Amino acid sequence: MLIIFDLDDTLIDTSRYLTPIVFKNTIKELISNGLQIDEDWAIKTIFQIDKKSISSKESIKKFLSDIFAKKIFFDIAFKAMTSQKNEIKIFTLKNAKSTLRYLSKAHKLAIVTKGDVKFQFEKIKKAGIDTSLFSKIVVTKKSKQLEYKRIMKDLGYESLDTFVCGDRVEYDLKPAKKIGCSTIHMKWGRGKKIFKNEDRKVVDYTINSLEEILKILDTKIEVKNAGK
């Protein structure tokens, strides 16, 4: 089987540990560059916006739009978000490393993540994820569907033998479902937010921890073998 993972809130615990620090540092950077706002109010407001947002970048964008900030502050904010200080610690989800090692022994693994290339690879490194376990690691700013197709073609897998695991239905799973892949919804981070009825048609499996994938794969393989 081929298993394609999202990164943030699927392999690393972004929402709990990284996002709050990114927001606070970004607000400090905006203020130091002349944006006249109250720091405590700004941070509180962004956290409220983020509860309904699809990404931290969108949260910052909405915050700045709501206060009619000049374009230069958008540029400063987005640069600050991907230029965080080295002392920031990044953690994987529970049992992620051991699960990935186990999976890599019998399956092909890949990562497709959206964002800044340098920052995403920096997060992987800081989290201590062994990149040698993955046949492909792709960072994109576009739809993931094209990358899923490319990886499947490059590694020689059909959609029936491919799983895609991610926390965001819209970004991670819908593109996978459109090309026939099985989808695993990681109920973590943004994946814990409101689950729309139409999303249920996109999600084949839902997990709360990464090791639950092992049971899903075992069941899938048993069904496949029984059909031969």
Q: Which of 63, 81, 99 is the last residue of a domain?
A: 81
Q: Are residues 98 and 182 in the same domain?
A: yes
Backbone dihedral angles phi then psi of residue 201, each to the nearest 5 degrees = -75, -20
Q: Look at residue 87 and tell me whether its pLDDT is greater than 70.
A: no
pLDDT tier at 84, thresholds 50, 70, 90: low
Q: Look at residue 85 and tell me whether its pLDDT is greater than 70.
A: no
Q: Are residues 179 and 160 in the same domain?
A: yes
Would the pTM count as exceeding 0.75?
A: yes
Rg of the chain (C-alpha set)? 19
36-64 tens-digit pLDDT: 999 999 999 999 999 888 889 999 999 99
Tokens of 174: 């819908």
Domain range holding 9? 2-13+90-226
Which pLDDT score is estimated for 224?
62
Q: Which ranges in 33-104 belong to alpha helices (H)?
A: 39-50, 56-66, 71-81, 96-104
145-160 tens-digit pLDDT: 999 999 999 999 999 9
Q: Are residues 127 and 140 in the same domain?
A: yes
Q: Look at residue 77 and tell me whether its pLDDT is greater than 70.
A: yes
Looking at residue 194, which CATH number applies to its domain?
Answer: 3.40.50.1000
Candidates 121, 128, 122; CA nearest to 98 is 128
Q: Count of domains in the chain?
A: 2
Looking at residues 170-190, what average pLDDT do you find? 94
Looking at residues 7-29, what average pLDDT do you find? 93
Looking at residue 35, which CATH number applies to its domain?
Answer: 1.10.150
185 or 223, greater pLDDT = 185
- For residue 217, the one-letter residue type is L
Strand partners, 166: 185
Q: Are residues 106 and 217 in the same domain?
A: yes
Q: Are residues 106 and 193 in the same domain?
A: yes
pLDDT tier at 200, thresholds 50, 70, 90: confident
Q: Are residues 116 and 94 in the same domain?
A: yes
Conformational region of residue 205, where left means phi above 0, alpha means psi within -120 to 50, and beta covers everything else: beta
